[in-house]
Structures are given as structure tokens and as C-alpha cells.
Structure 1
């Protein structure tokens, strides 16, 4: 099984979406089940409704999952495994206060040594702990040997015991910490490959250590993806609007274009424009760059235009708020000057709205209004134009500017000859 494990603590980051896409693709390639696990055990940071938002985004991207799990549903398993480690003396009760630990951290900071737990409570037995009335956390005992694993992208990785340390696995209120809950759930659901961001690299030896102490012997493969950088070459954060999938969708980028770009980013692909279903045939984690790639919004715009061009006309019309496929055809004519749905929509709306005519063209517009309706049965634009010029006596700027304003509501835009074959079908709605 493969899994995507988001936390409902904010907008979905494009890095998380890329992880979801890659896990989905590889699950399809391997014909394994795909689990979505909402990691909701960090109660203080959870935001109401973000879990639903995550699932809605996955649906928009056609990422189908075989199973949905809220991590909090497994809390009894987490607690039981923590107490098993306590019972087996592979973990211990820690009564150190926040103040004591903070002092130790400050001391380490002053000496410029990485903070590690002192081991003060390591010898307290479970019997001694049960007699105390004070609350305690459960810490796992640090490993006795180096922890090694192979990463599909990074190769052989090794972590010394001190790098793993005696970390907390169960809080004083009996809620599991991230690494403990994560490692137990991966074990319970028989996860075979973990694809996630390289910011989780330091968590991997901790999770391996937990499962080893519990006697879990199955090897799990890992692939830690390089982080996505902003245009300044820094890690994309919440301050970067484009880091939010929700923002990109609201800006009018198509899900299929965003997916295309995220698969393309830092990757060797057989072609530049493709669908996620096509990528299933050739995607290979080993073709990904080991280095971080910059997120280029202009490149995403280019890819979005390409996907709008190949989108079914009726679907495009519906996305813009119309039912007629001809509106989709019309929108595609504007694609060179508008690269998103958000940019296309006002251009189409102006065509069907009451036109604001500058005073300098009011007279010409009045002359053309009736003529346009009378001769819109003429299919060829050149013939239509010739008849209007002949009947109105207008020519040059005095003809073309008012005509464009009447048909599009805008002074500039695509050639009227391209727009006319479609606009004539809606002439009573356009010219009024």
C-alpha cells in the first residue's frame, strides 16, 4: 500500500499535492492500494474544515483513493504500542518539566552543541512511574547502533544514535506524537513505499527505530523529494501565494495543468504537455532530479494555456459559467492574451454585457447596431464587413473601432474575423 498523509492545519501546499500525485501514480503502476490518512492528532493546530478541503482538492485532481483514515481513529493502537514499549523497557516514563528541559536546551545553545535529552529519567521503572501522582510523557530509548536505509533518490542514508535521541512518543495527555503515530499507522496498513518531502528525512530513522523495537521486520522503501523553491531560490512558504493549491485554483489554473507542471518540475519526461493518466505509463521516480527546482508561475501559465486549448469546448464553457459549447470555442480565441479561467471570464462577460461606448463613437455605434443584426445571417466575415461598410458609409477607424466595441465591449483583442463566426450565433445577446 502507498499513502498520502496530509495534516488539516492549513491550505494544501503544492509540495503536498506533488506528494499526493506521485503516490497516486506509483500506486497505479504497482497496482497497490492507495490510502489517504488525515493526520489530525495535533489538536491545537487543526483547522475546522481543512480536512474536507483536502479531500475536495484531491477530487478535483481526479486522485482516487481506496481507503480514507483519520489518524485519531487509531489512537488506541498508538497508546497500546507505547505502553508495550514501556512494559518491555524499550521506552521510559519521563517526569522532566518544561522548565528543566528548556534550561538544558539553553545550555546546549550556549555551548553550541546540538541539544540531546540528558537521560535523567531513563532508569525509572514502570512500577515506580505508576506510584507517582505527577503526569509524565513516554520517551523511547535511543538506538544502540546506526540506523541505515536506502532512498530511491538520495541513495544510502545513515543516522547515528545521538541524531535519533530519546524522543517523546506519548504526550502527558496520552496523545501520540507525530513520529510515533505515523510509524504505527504505516506498520498497521502494510505500507510498502513512502514518498514524501525531504523535510521529513530526519523523521525516517525515528520511525524505523520505533518499528524495529516493536519487532516489525518488513522493509519499507523511501523516496524523499527535493523541496520546491520560490522564484528567489528560497523554500516556498505560506507567504508565497503560489504555494497554496487553493489559491492557484481560485486564480483559474486547471487541475490538469497544475498536475502536469508538478510532474514536469525537476523531472525527465517524454513530452511537455500531458495528463496524469498518460504519466502513469512512463513516470519513474528515478528520473527526478536530486536538486530542488524553482516554481515558475510563467511556465505554469504556458502549460495552463496548452491545457485550455485541448479542453473539451463544452467543459470549458461550463467552467466559465455557460452551457453552450460555442462559448468554449470563443474563449479559446482569447487564449493568447489570457492564460487562466479567471482572466478569460471577464473577456467573455464583457461580450454579453451592456456595452460602455466612448462618446466619440456613439454616433457610429448607433448606425451599426441595426445593420449588424440585419446582416448577421451572412456567414463569411469579409462579406459581412463589406455589406456593413457599404450600408453605413463608415470606414477605417470609424468603422472597426465601433464594430469591435459593439461585438466585444473592448477596444482591443483578437481579430474580429476570428470572433465573428461564433458571435453571429448570439447576435441578439451581444448587440443590444
Structure 2
């Protein structure tokens, strides 16, 4: 069983989408199922409507989940598990205030050492706990041995016990911390494999330790994805436009192209252009590079062009708002443009009123009238060209530039003899619209 567990606090990052896609592909490979879990326990942050945004984006990418969970619905289980750990002496109440802890952290910083909780409250007697009126958190006692796990990408990873202190599992307001909620939810929901970003590597031993202390014996496997670097070679942040899935969709990249590129990124694949369904046939999480992958928007643009070319007639009509007669025209313009808005603009310019510069307007009008007066539109561009040159005596730039402007609305573009077969059946409509 695989899961994608986003926090609904902002626009989805491509790193999160990449993890969702990988988890989904793996779930299709072994048919174990895919869970969407909205981690909504952080009530301090505004999440209104963000869960719906997440679901809409996943649906756009063809990601289907068998079960939807909201983490906040599991609060009673989080509290019961915390109580169990307290009763068994595996956890303890901590009355240290934020001010006290901050002071200790500052002292550790001054000494140049990593802060570790010093166990102030770990050995309080029952009476000291019961008689203490202060609010408290619940801490899980630190492990006394090395914690290891095998990462499907990075190999075996070990954490010495001195590097994991007695960490908080329940806050003073009796809500779970991220690690505790995540660990117990994965246990409750039968998750067997988690693919997520490498920023979670240090969370994994804590989550494994939580489940072990609760007596859970089923193994959960992990793969931690290396970070994605921006064009400057630094980790992509929310300040980078391309890090936002919404920005990429709004810019005109197809969901299928974005998914293709994210699977390709830092990976060894048998081909460059594929769908998620095709990726299911060859995807191997172990082939993901251990090194960070650099985001290349030019490569994404290439992938986008290829997906426009391979799209079905129905998909083209849906994406570009055209009828079937213009589908091949859309694909033709991928030689010039990669993005949906750019291609839409070129198609629109052909079938819209044109602004013809004054130096070409007279000849453009002559050519327009001659074409409109033709009893039959020639099958080949060269035949049309010969007829028009004979009738108008125009040649060279005086012929080709006004004709190009009449047909495309642009002074530059693809060769007219290549474009002509795609527009000849609509040429009179185009000329009437260009007035």
C-alpha cells in the first residue's frame, strides 16, 4: 500500500507532485492500492480549500486514490496511542516551557554543539507529574541502540542513539506532532512503502521507533528522493516560479508532459517521451539517481511539444478549444512553439482580423480579392502561387509578405507551402476574417 500525504498549506510543489506520481506508479505496478491522506492537523495555518486544490491537481494528472483520509479524523487514535506509551513507561510528560527550552538551545549554540533534550522531566515521580499544574507535552524516550533502515535509493542508513533525543510526540494542546501522526497513520492505514523527499530522511528513524514502541511489527519500506535543483544549481524554493505545479499548468505545460518530465528527472528510462501508463511498464525506483537532479525548463518544453504531437484529436480539441478541422494545425505549430497559450495565439491570429502594415496593405487587398474570386482553391501551394503571380504581376517580397500577413497575421513563421495544406479548405474564411 502506497500513500501521498500532503499538507494543504499552499500551492503544490513539483517535488511533492513527483513523490505522488512515483507512489502512484508503484501502486499500479504491484496493485497494492494508493491512499491520499490530507495532513490537516496544523490548525495554525490556513488550509481552507487547499485540500480540494490538491485533489483537483492529482485528478488532472490522472492519479486516482482508493481511499481518502483526513489526518485530523485520527486524533482520538493519536491520543490513545500516546496514553498507551505513557502507561508502558515508554514516554513521559515534559513540563519544560518554550522559554526554558529556548534558553537551553541558545546555550548549546554558544558552545557550538547540537542541542539535545537533557531529560529534565524524564524521571519525575508520579506525584510530581500529578501535582504539576503546568501544561505539558509528551515525549517518547530516546532509543538506546542504533536505528537502521534500507532506503530503496540511498541504501542502508544508520542513526546513532545519541543523534536522536527524547522527542515530542504530543503537543501541550494534545495534538500530535508531525512524526507521531505520520507514523501512527501509516500503521493504521496499512502503508507498506513510502516514497518521499530526502528532507524526510531524519524523520524515518523516529517514525520507525514510534511504531516499534507501539509494538507494530510490519515493515514499512522507504525511498527518499533527492532534491530538485533550480537553474542556479541551488535547491528549488517556492520563490522559483517553475517550482509551482499551478504555475506550470497556467504557463501552458500539459499535465502529461509535466508527469513525463518528473519521472525522467534523475532517472534511467528506456525512452524520453511516455505516459504514466507506459512508465508503469518500466519504472524502477532503484534507478533514481542518488544525486540531486537539475530542473531544465527547455527539456520540459521539448517534452511538452512531443505530448502535443502525440495527443488524441479529442485531447487537442479539449486543450486548445478548437474543432477537429484545426487539430493538425495545432500540431503543425509545435515546430515554433511549446506552450498552449503560444500555439493558441498563432491559431487565433490566422482566423482573426489582421493589422496589415501600410506598405503591404494595397498588395494584400489585391491578393485577397484574387483568391476570393477563384472558382476553385488549388490543391498545391505552388499552383496557387503561380496563378496569383500571373494575375497580379507581384513577385518577391511584394508578393510573399502581404500573402503571409493575410494568411497568418505575422511577418515571420513557417514556410507557406508547408502551412497551406492545413488551411486551404478554410482559406476564404481566413481572408474574410482578416478584413
> What's the TM-score once normalised by structure 2's chain length?
0.96
Distance change in 2, residues 1:208/1:127 (3 Å): farther
Aligned counterparts of 2:340 and 2:48: Cα–Cα separation in 1: 29
Whether contact under 8 Å (2:40, 2:47) holds in the other structure is: no
User: Is 2:244 the counterpart of 1:244?
Assistant: yes
SS in 2 for 1:121: coil
Residue 38 of structure 2 is aligned to residue 38 of structure 1: yes
1:393-426 Cα deviation digits (max 9, x unpaired): 2111111111111111100001112222222332
Structure-to-structure mapping, 1:32-431, within 5 angstroms: 32-125=32-125, 128-322=128-322, 324-375=323-374, 377-431=377-431
DSSP-derived class of the 2:44 partner: coil
Take 1:62 and 1:125, find their aligned partners in 2: how far apart are those partners? 55
Query: Contact (CA 8 Å) 1:333, 1:414: kept in 2 or not?
Result: no
Structure 1 residue 428: deviation in Å? 4.2
Partners of 1:313 and 1:326 within 8 A in 2: no
Write the distance in 1 (CA, Å) between the matches of 2:241 and 2:289.
25
- 1:388 & 1:43 partners in 2: Cα distance? 72
Q: Which moved more, 1:20-29 or 1:128-137?
A: 128-137
Deviations 1:255-312 (A, max 9, x none): 1111111111111111111111111111111111111111111111111111111112
Distance, in Å, in 2 between the alignment partners of 1:294 and 1:127 is 57
Separation in structure 1 between the aligned mates of residue 222 and residue 346 of structure 2, nearest angstrom = 47
TM-score of the aligned structures, taking structure 1 as reference length: 0.97
Counterparts of 1:308 and 1:284 in 2: how far apart (Å)?
Answer: 26
Whole-angstrom distance in 1 between the partners of 2:349 and 2:78? 58
- From the superposition, tell whether residues 340 and 127 of structure 1 become closer, same or farther in structure 2 (CA, over 3 Å): farther
Question: What SS does the corresponding residue of 1:335 show, helix, strand or coil?
Answer: helix
Instruction: Give the paired residue count.
Output: 431
CA distance in 2, matches of 1:186, 1:253: 33
Confirm or deny that 1:12 pairs with 2:35.
no
* Matched-pair contact (CA < 8 Å) for 2:371–2:428: no
- The verdict on how the C-alpha distance between 1:126 and 1:78 changes in structure 2, with shifts beyond 3 A counting, is farther
Q: Provide the secondary structure at the position in 2 that maps to 1:334.
A: helix
Deviation at 1:128, TM superposition (A): 4.0
* CA distance in structure 2 between the partners assigned to 1:271 and 1:46 by the alignment: 42
Q: Is the 8 A contact 1:314 1:326 kept in 2?
A: no
Name the stretch that deviates more: 26-35 or 384-393.
384-393
Relative distance call for 1:27 and 1:80 in structure 2 (3 A) is same
Bigger CA drift: 362-371 or 104-113?
Answer: 362-371
RMSD, matched Cα? 1.4
Secondary structure of the structure 2 residue equivalent to 1:118: coil
Shift of 1:126: 5.5
SS in structure 1 at match of 2:334: coil
Render the CA deviation track for 1:225-254: whole Å, top value 9, x for unaligned: 111111122111111111111111111111
Decide whether the 8 Å contact of 1:40 with 1:46 is kept in 2.
no
State the alpha-carbon separation in 2 of the partners of residues 317 and 419 from structure 1: 19
Secondary structure, aligned partner of 1:431: helix
Assess if the C-alpha contact under 8 Å between 2:354 and 2:405 holds in 1.
yes
Deviation sequence 1:81-129 (CA, Å, 0-9, x none): 1111112121111111111011001000000110111111112356643
Q: Distance in 1 between matches of 2:185 and 2:318?
A: 41
| Structure 2 gap ranges (5+) | none
Distance 2:46 2:371 in 1: 59
Q: Which moved more, 1:365-374 or 1:149-158?
A: 365-374
Structure 1 residues 46 and 161 mapped into 2: Cα distance closer, same or farther (>3 Å)? farther
Label 1:373 to 1:102 Cα distance change in 2 as closer, same or farther (>3 A): same
